[in-house]
Amino acid sequence: MKNTLKLNSYCVKTAERNESTKPHQLPLYLSSSFVMEDSQEAVDIFTGQKKGHVYGRYGNPTIDTVANKIAAMEGFDLAGDAYGFLTSSGMSAITTLMMSTLQAGDSVLTQGNLYGGSTELLKKILFRMGVNTIFTNLQNLEEVEHIIKNNSNIRMLYFETPANPTMACIDIKAINTIASKYAVPTAIDNTFCTPYLQRPLSLGTDYVIHSTTKYLNGHGNSIAGAIIASDYDASRKIWETLKLNGSTCNPFDAWLLSNGLKTLAIRMDKHSSNAQKIAEYLQQHDKVTHVNYNGLKDHPDHEIASKQMSQFGGMLSFSVQGGQAEALATIDRLKCCTHAPTLGDVDTLVLHPATSSHLNVDKQIREENGITDGMIRVSVGIEDIDDLINDFKQALDQLY
């Protein structure tokens, strides 16, 4: 090319690529568009007759590789394929799924103890789009069936298990059986468990959502979300919505996520073992009034969790005597743990739900679902367990 162009033109062009061998690690593709070999290839790709990348908002080799890996992990027990998409955040994953499956006049059936952001999305944004939300106790299967049977407008059953931050569990297989009886699609936020601990598609769930920002990445350095579908036709609707609403993940966050996935198994093992020991310690402390962790045998949902989770994960919450002031004081005294509004990182993170993640949820709804002013949420990290227990001990021992 340099022999046919002037130097200033040659500066603009990409040099011949020196790619003699295949890279061992996933490359980071930082290109907003992709070159067509000829006009016919462009026609074939845009009309769907051939697979190929054309524009970054539609997809990218880095993004699609990671999305397909997460889909394969969630569909590990399935005979067929699962289909995955990466979005700009966990919230955009939920929004994109709802936009691709619901329309004005439809209703969503869900639980009252959802993550606060999910509750706000349903009540504030989807409500303005004409989508109604019905909140109920999804653990009451008879009530769930009664509501679905008597409301043909319900076109989505959306749930978390374990719930954020109470760790309440829903019987995934049982609730999917009810929903499928009335042809109602189901979707689950599986962020807390990841496919390493729980795979809802194998239990009949139609869609799985992740905030990959959390455990799948695990290092607190990228924000992204994932949608996984078990049906090809449904996946096409998701892709169409995703490319048009523009909430696609970016290549760098996808690349960071790819690196995090490599250590998912060993991290989740350590998160789970540390959380079990901290829960047992907190349960016997005289300043702690209640501990929410499914690994405790006296937890009301221990049996459900044991049935559908391989381990109990790294999330727990507990309440201290005295309420909000004492909870905040405990957080401020922690030295090894970090006060941050996220979860799933390798280091231990604490949060006060009533003044942060669930601040905009009605207090009555919060308290009805066990999210009290004295509750502290803990995302247990992979530090040495003795350091973590000693940190909680010194902070709690200072309470009056």
Q: For the domain that residue 214 is a member of, what is the CATH number?
A: 3.40.640.10
State the pLDDT at residue 2. 58
Measured at the CA of 340, the angle between CA 342 and CA 328, to 5 degrees, comes to: 125
Same domain, 271 and 242: no
Nearest to 222 by CA among 258, 262, 264: 258
Same domain, 120 and 141: yes
Nearest to 235 by CA among 130, 104, 95, 96: 96
The last residue of one of the domains, among 219, 236, 261, is 261
Same domain, 279 and 359: yes
* Mean pLDDT computed over 102-129: 94
The verdict on residue 7 lying in a domain is no
The verdict on residue 182 lying in a domain is yes
Same domain, 80 and 164: yes
Same domain, 45 and 138: yes
Same domain, 43 and 154: yes
* Mean pLDDT computed over 104-108: 98
Q: Please state the domain count of the chain.
A: 2
The verdict on residue 3 lying in a domain is no
The verdict on residue 127 lying in a domain is yes
Residue 289 pLDDT exceeds 80: yes
The verdict on residue 22 lying in a domain is no
The C-alpha atoms of residue 352 and residue 346 are separated, in whole angstroms, by 19
Same domain, 220 and 318: no
What pLDDT digit, counting tens, does each position of 194-213 carry? 999 999 999 999 999 999 99
**Percent of the chain with pLDDT strictly greater than 90:** 84
Evaluated on CA atoms 88, 92, 98, 99, the torsion sign reads negative
Give percent helix, percent strand, percent coil of the chain, each to the nearest 5: 40, 15, 45
The verdict on residue 56 lying in a domain is yes
Distances 249 to 222, 259, 361 between C-alpha atoms, Å: 10, 15, 28
The C-alpha atoms of residue 97 and residue 187 are separated, in whole angstroms, by 9
Same domain, 82 and 228: yes
Same domain, 292 and 339: yes
Residues 6 or more apart in contact with residue 108 via CB below 8 angstroms: 98, 102, 122, 126, 131, 132, 133, 134, 154, 155, 156, 157, 158
The last residue of one of the domains, among 212, 244, 261, is 261
What pLDDT digit, counting tens, does each position of 26-84 carry? 999 999 999 999 999 999 988 889 999 999 999 899 999 999 999 999 999 999 999 99
Same domain, 276 and 164: no
* Contact in structure between 257 and 224 (CB atoms under 8 Å): yes
* Mean pLDDT computed over 151-161: 98
Give catalytic residues, as residue numbers: 57, 115, 189, 214
Phi and psi dihedrals of 133, rounded to 5?
A: -120, 135
Residue with tokens 């973590």: 388
* Contact in structure between 259 and 132 (CB atoms under 8 Å): no
Q: Which domain holds residue 307?
A: 264-397
* Contact in structure between 86 and 113 (CB atoms under 8 Å): no
* Contact in structure between 376 and 352 (CB atoms under 8 Å): yes
* Contact in structure between 189 and 160 (CB atoms under 8 Å): yes
Instruction: Tell me the pTM.
Output: 0.94
The last residue of one of the domains, among 245, 261, 277, is 261
The C-alpha atoms of residue 226 and residue 79 are separated, in whole angstroms, by 21
State the pLDDT at residue 1. 60
The verdict on residue 190 lying in a domain is yes
Phi and psi dihedrals of 264, rounded to 5?
A: -55, -50
* Contact in structure between 328 and 375 (CB atoms under 8 Å): no
Least confident of 8-22, 36-50, 119-133, 144-158: 8-22
The verdict on residue 172 lying in a domain is yes
Residues 6 or more apart in contact with residue 196 via CB below 8 angstroms: 73, 264, 265, 268, 310
Same domain, 234 and 190: yes
CATH of the domain at 302: 3.90.1150.10
Mean pLDDT of the chain: 95
Same domain, 92 and 230: yes
Torsion of the alpha carbons at 211, 213, 217 and 219, rounded to the nearest 10: -150
